[in-house]
Each structure stands twice: as structure tokens, then as C-alpha cells.
Amino acid sequence: MNRGYRAAGLAVAVLLAVLSLVGCRDSRTLSLGDDGKPTIKLMVGGLEKVIYLPAMLTQQLDGFNRAGVHVELLNQPSGANAETALISGDVQGVVGFYDHTIDLQAKDQCITSVVQMANIPGEVIMVGTGKADQIRGSADFRGRKMGITSLGSSTDFLTKALAGKAGVATDEFTPVKVGAGQTFIASLNNGGIDAGMTTDPTVAQLVASGQGKVLYDMRTERGTRDALGGLYPATSLYMSCSVVERYPEVVQQLATALVGTLGWMSQHTPEQIADAMPPSFAGADRALYVASIRDSVGMFNADGRMDPGGAANALTVLSSFSKNVRAHRSMIDLNRTYTSRFVDAAAAAAK
């Protein structure tokens, strides 16, 4: 009997410990620092990528702290993995691509963009120089190995969308997870991939070294419209609807900080932006890093607002290849995938 009571007691203790751990990971409950400021964990889909530069720049400019919130930036090169961290409650927000909010709503998850930092992707399809005469458009993706950051990432979405526009089915080419930076470059050089989608500063490194050539350039509005038939909202701060509804004052602090940074960027040169970033981001070649910022900085909004037409086009693009999004398209409410209330309030307060 005593042995049974001990076993039961041990089971209860284990259960309580598990519940305690789950509670610690519950993104609906925020912790406070010693100064009473809330502490937020934000997962960034690649801190070193220029497309996500506003997150680290805000930290460097002390923007989060001045807005009244402590922010811990976590690095996760794959947008798909960052989205998983958000859903599991490991983080309270993600700096990643807006299209995940649509994809997740089709899977019955409510995620919303609260700051829309860019209405174009900032992504580039790069082709190895030796195969540039063989791969001249997305029709040539057929039978090729195409580099993406990971399956289920926005680079995966966009590569499938470009292929589909040329009549190439998703099973007619092979997506290969190669990440970004040096792993992408190595895969392009050793034949692991024939072409692939990546961002600056990887693009700048490949072009400067002559190892790769640009096939599709979605760092500009014109390039994005030509490739995707319209705008395609990308870099955003997205959070679960439950957190936004429960902590609107904290979301406002985050939005105020990021909108302030976007405004700062619009008034400073690529050189000044590079100077404000951690020295390790430029590495040994500051000139190349400045060039990568100059080539991509035009993608960012100055006000953090969503372009409604762009959101509608993102849904159209996703529906073109995603069976899940296509099946639930009539039930997807785009108004639930983004809000401008926080950035509008930030703008009003700044005036």
C-alpha cells in the first residue's frame, strides 16, 4: 500500500513539473524584468539577412528599451521553424514573412502581422554562373535542384509560385534545404543545387565573386510585380491573435519601436545603417555589406503599413500551389492576418 501511495505521489509530482514547464512556455503570459518592463522573445528568420535588418537595428538603436519593453532576439534561419516556435509558445513573436499568417489560418491557426515592414520579398533567384545559359527562366526549373532555406519556408512558397507561373508542377523539380550565407554558396558551387532563392548579403557575395547571376530580382517593386503579378508583403512582425488581444499595450510598444526604426532608415544612408549594426554583420568586407544594404533597403516601408492589394495577391499566389490554402481560400479572412492599428497609433503619437 505504501508503495502504491509513493508511486501515486511520484506521478502527481511529475505531472505538476510538466504543467509548470508548459506554463513557462505559454506565450500568453509575459514575464517582467526587475524594472517592471515586459520581456518579449522574438524569433527572427535570419538575423544576418538584410531583409530582417530592422529587428537588430531597433535593438542597436535602443528602440525597444526606449519604447518600454525588453526584447530578446533569437536567430532561426528558417521561417518555417520560427513559425513552429511561435505556435509552440517558445516565443511571443516572429520577424518573418507575412505569408505564414495566411498559410497558418488555412491550418486553423490565428496569426496576425502587427507591423508590415516590407510589401515586397527582397528575395532573389540566383543561378550558378556555369548554368546561367541553361536556366533562363522559371520554365527551366523543371528537373533542377532548387535551393531554399527549408521546406515550408517563404523561399519554398515563392519558388513553387514562380515555377507554377511557367507551368512547372511542384513535383517536377527538387527543393533542397540549403539555408543561407555560406551553406547556400557552397551548395551552388559544389552542384548541390542548380539555382536557388536567397537574400542579401548572400546575393552581393555571389555577384561580387562572379559565382552567381541574378535570375529574378524581387528586391524592387517592379521586379516583384514582374515575377509575381503584384506586390507580395514580406518582412513583418507577426504574433498570435491571443497575445495581441491580451497584451495590446505591449504590442503597441513593439510597433512604436519598429516604426521608429523604419522612419530612421528612410532618413539615413546605407553607410550610416551599416555603422549602426554590429560589426560582425559586415565581417571583413564592410564595402560589400554596405552594397548589400543599398541594393535591398528600398524594399522597406517607412510607416509599417500593409498594402491591402499586396495581401490579396499573396493569397492568390499561395492558392496557386498550396492545396491547403486553395481548399480553404473561401474561409480565409485577410483582415485577420494583419492589422494597422498599432502602426497608425505609433504614427499619430510621433506627430
pLDDT digits over 137-157, tens only? Answer: 999 999 999 999 999 889 999
Environment class of 345 (CB within 10 Å of its CB; exposed 0-12, middle 13-18, buried 19+): middle
At residue 77 the predicted structure's pLDDT band, cuts being 50, 70 and 90, is confident
Tell me, what's the pLDDT at 29?
65
Of 173, 284, 163, nearest in space to 227 by CA: 163
Q: Rounded to whole angstroms, how far apart are CA atoms 255 and 8?
A: 49
In the block, cell 517592379 appears at 222
Higher pLDDT, 17 or 73: 73
- Round the average pLDDT of the chain to a whole number and report it: 91
- Average pLDDT of the segment spanning 66-95: 90
Residues 233/234/239/240 CA torsion (nearest 10 deg)? 60
- Average pLDDT of the segment spanning 79-108: 92
Q: What is the pLDDT of residues 280-335, one digit of tens each?
A: 999 889 999 999 999 999 999 999 999 999 999 999 999 999 999 999 999 999 99
Q: Out of 3.30.470.20, 3.40.50.170, 3.40.190.10, 3.30.9.10, select the CATH number for domain 123-218.
A: 3.40.190.10
Environment class of 185 (CB within 10 Å of its CB; exposed 0-12, middle 13-18, buried 19+): buried
Q: Write down the domain spans for the chain.
A: 37-120+233-350, 123-218
Largest CA distance in the chain: 80
Q: Rounded to whole angstroms, how far apart are CA atoms 297 and 300?
A: 6
Environment class of 54 (CB within 10 Å of its CB; exposed 0-12, middle 13-18, buried 19+): buried
At residue 276 the predicted structure's pLDDT band, cuts being 50, 70 and 90, is very high
At residue 14 the predicted structure's pLDDT band, cuts being 50, 70 and 90, is very low
Whether 37-120+233-350 shares its CATH topology with 123-218 is answered yes
CATH 3.60.21.10 at 37-120+233-350, yes or no: no
Rounded to two decimals, what is the model's pTM?
A: 0.89
Tell me, what's the pLDDT at 28?
53
Q: Rounded to whole angstroms, how far apart are CA atoms 29 and 110?
A: 17
Cβ contact 105:176 at 8 Å = no
Q: Is the pLDDT of residue 222 over 50?
A: yes
Of 121, 120, 115, 122, nearest in space to 303 by CA: 115
